[in-house]
Structure 1
């Protein structure tokens, strides 16, 4: 492919839209959904039983770190149930009329997916209690002394709630979900399957060793794997390569500043701050987050699960601690923080 052809490809609306459309890479059915075998096996039984009884599937609660496929699985559940799905998020449900408008327009056995369900306002939660159990909602008509409550029946539906923070979901709401599943980070074999499948969809030729290296660098997360795969496609395409090899992936990861353990620049920044500023810990999550310019939520939801999985950080009752592996991975030792303290004190003496 010469420079002009590559330029035409990159400027093609069709290819740009295809690359950005994450939905193109999402599996549509349970058999195509890789990973989470415990969730798939149970759901297959529950869905089959519900269809045989001609009933709506019981309400489903999905939790786990971001990017593992909770939204995708919600769409798959609707597909397997031959049902229509409506998708919203808790922050979008600002007033009671918002949820009432959705619930009253649902079809029989349809699916309502609410993302970030831990962020629902209490008044919305309370309306869902009756809707989930009795398939009815109370609505106040009029104002003042003339106000009266009307009970409105709604179709039997399936609510699927997804969250990265299950501990923040109100107990009465959580108790109304008949099916609860927690997503775990994917292993390398599962990610390789996802990467190979999506390379076909993206019309990318990929070496087996390249797929494995991509999987190792994807933080156990399909969303990250898909993002890196598309970037490797960009590198290969602009470089004029028809096959993505292990060397191309290695070079691409180096340009993206992703190391051989799948850590990006911010991951390493977190570990360096933990070791140098806080002497390896323990340190509270709020303090550590401020030191690296992140919120405590983003640190806990996005960065920590993988750092803990890789054995780089420990959670203790007193806070976060760097492990021996963290020191060795960054080529540091236990005395490096003393050298850093000396440098900081020296800088202050110069200033004052």
Structure 2
């Protein structure tokens, strides 16, 4: 002990100490793994939907209760004045010219944003969704469970709905983050219209429309996971994928817009539908639309600020190794 001091010799005197660097934060789960997990969840939901609605008595009964067969002719076309507009929508969307133009737009946006690989993958996921929908529809048997309102013809999943969902999400691969948020709401509404048209025209059951959305989402998550695994980075430069304050406000604005659209649909569209279609068809349309909004919104939120580009070339700015601020590595 030193004279006149109560502190041990050799130890620093009390006072302000230089700040020690905080331990590094736990690394976030890579986006590719999150997208892969989302695709597995979508595949599981798709399989459960197929098993419940195609292979079980309660599922077939619910499909028939929501969209009963016509008394004459045995078809599922609904008795409503909306049959004509529904068939017009389906004929327009099924036009090869329109589909080719939309796929070309995906490629064009990819080229303009120097995201050609993402554009090609986007076109591929649309074609893959259509092919898979046809393959599942042909391979999946629909047993005869002696339900009056059901037939053994399998139409699960809907190729029109799967193509519409995949086409909307293909644009999410090539558009910047801010544009995705504003396209997601009207795009999901368009997919909901196509799903409703397939049910009103009697082309598909409720489970078919839901399965089409799940198929499109599953294929998109697989494609996006493949792109993310190539070394994609978050658009704002943060390796952990967390959005900054501005991204949060933009996300809140997009969510508010989505809620406003849903509120408008409940106040305006649903009462109009209620006077035109039966209660079962109305329930099927509303549930299919809400499911589409939720599923599309979930995957758009998952990739909200991800720029699906290739890996950064050598010499470009990387995330700093120290906590003192951004550095440029030459």
| TM-score normalised by L of structure 2 | 0.26
Q: Which has the higher helix share?
A: 2
Q: Which has the higher strand share?
A: 1
Greater RCO, 1 or 2 (C-alpha within 8 Å, sep 6+): 2
| TM-score normalised by L of structure 1 | 0.25
